Amino acid sequence: WSRLTRLRADVLGDRGDAWVLIELRPHAGPGAIGAIQSYHTLLLGSLPDDRPLIPMIVTDSCSEDIKAVAGVANIVVVCLDEVE
């Protein structure tokens, strides 16, 4: 079981035009960015087609610093405390 679940993101979504790799993390910090980057790198060679793979972190809250670092790394961050 641990071999099947380690180094995997929480969700792989099919958006139609792209795959979305989603990490669900409360109070996302630098560890969430490192985790999704690792999962993204490992999954790139295993996708069933050539659609792009979009890394995303969904969190209840995050700082402007985390959003800035994620943006530089092309990681989408959804902070639920900012969603209306």
CA gap 63, 47 in Å, rounded: 31
Of residues 25 and 46, the one with the higher pLDDT is: 25
Which pLDDT belongs to residue 4? 47
CA gap 42, 66 in Å, rounded: 22
- Beta strand 11-14 with 19-24 is antiparallel
* Residues 37-81 pLDDT 10s: 999 998 888 888 999 999 999 999 989 999 999 999 999 999 998
Q: Kindly report the pTM of this predicted structure.
A: 0.88
Is residue 1 pLDDT above 80, yes or no? Answer: no
- The mean pLDDT value for 22-27 works out to 95
Contact status, residue 47 vs residue 38, Cβ threshold 8 Å: no
